[in-house]
Amino acid sequence: MNDQPLKKPDLDSKRLYLCVPARPDIEHFISECIRGGVDLVQLREKQLEALQLINYARKAVKVCHDMGIQFIMNDRPDIALEVEADGVHVGQDDVPPELARKILGQSAIIGRSTHAHQELRKSLAEPVDYISAGPVVPTPTKPGREGTGIDYAAYTNSQSPRPVFVTGGVTPETIPSLVKVGIKHFVVVRYITLATDPYRASRNLTEAIEQALNENTG
- Distance of alpha carbon 71 from alpha carbon 64, whole angstroms: 6
The domain in which residue 39 lies consists of: 11-217
pTM for this model (two decimals): 0.93
Does pLDDT of 38 surpass 80? Answer: yes
**37 inside domain:** yes
**4 inside domain:** no
**63 inside domain:** yes
Does pLDDT of 1 surpass 50? Answer: no
pLDDT score, position 10: 87
Q: How many structural domains comprise the chain?
A: 1
Does pLDDT of 8 surpass 70? Answer: no
Q: Where are the strands (E) in the chain, listed by range?
A: 16-20, 40-43, 71-74, 87-90, 109-114, 130-133, 164-166, 185-188
CA atoms within 13 A on the CB side of 25: 10
Q: Average pLDDT, whole number, for the chain? A: 93
> What share of the chain in percent tops pLDDT 70?
92
- Distance of alpha carbon 21 from alpha carbon 154, whole angstroms: 28
User: Is residue 65 within 8 Å of residue 3, measured between CB atoms?
Assistant: yes
pLDDT (mean) for 11-36: 97
Q: How confident is the model at residue 144 (pLDDT cuts 50, 70, 90)?
A: low
**111 inside domain:** yes
Report the DSSP beta bridge partners of residue 18. Answer: 41, 188
pLDDT score, position 2: 43
pLDDT score, position 104: 97
Does pLDDT of 3 surpass 70? Answer: no
Q: What CATH number should be reported for the domain holding residue 23?
A: 3.20.20.70
Q: Is it true that the peptide bond before 176 is cis, omega within 30 degrees of 0?
A: no
**3 inside domain:** no
| Residue 214, CA distances (Å) to 62, 113, 165 in order | 33, 28, 19
**6 inside domain:** no
Does pLDDT of 7 surpass 60? Answer: no
pLDDT digits (tens, 9 = 90+) for 51-94: 999 999 999 999 999 999 999 999 999 999 999 999 999 999 99
pLDDT score, position 140: 64
